[in-house]
Amino acid sequence: MYLIGNFFYVSLLLINAIAVLSEDRFLARINLSPSSYDPAFGAGSDASIKAKIINLIASVRTLMRIPLIGINTLVIVYGLFFG
């Protein structure tokens, strides 16, 4: 059970780190901004690693922003009450 809890915390921290990346400050500077990437129609499995990373970052920032608020709140409350 201890291993699963640590894995959950690490996963949550990594998802939080991806979700808070700033396009202006960090992503544009290293050319990973989702707004600068324009995939061709039908781009399939032959997409580059850079394109896959851009898609992953954009997806996490879009889909996980609202659920992360709730999950982080639950983890903070759990940490406060059960240490």
Count of domains forming the chain: 1
pLDDT, tens digit (0-9, with 9 covering 90-100), for 31-63: 666 555 555 555 555 677 877 777 788 888 888
Stated pTM of the model: 0.70
Q: What pLDDT score does 76 carry?
A: 94
Q: What pLDDT score does 83 carry?
A: 76
Domain of 22 in residue numbering reads as 2-38+47-82
Model confidence at 2, in pLDDT bands (50, 70, 90)? confident
Q: What pLDDT score does 81 carry?
A: 93
What's the CA gap between 82 and 33, in Å, rounded? 40
Tokens read off for 29: 């500077």
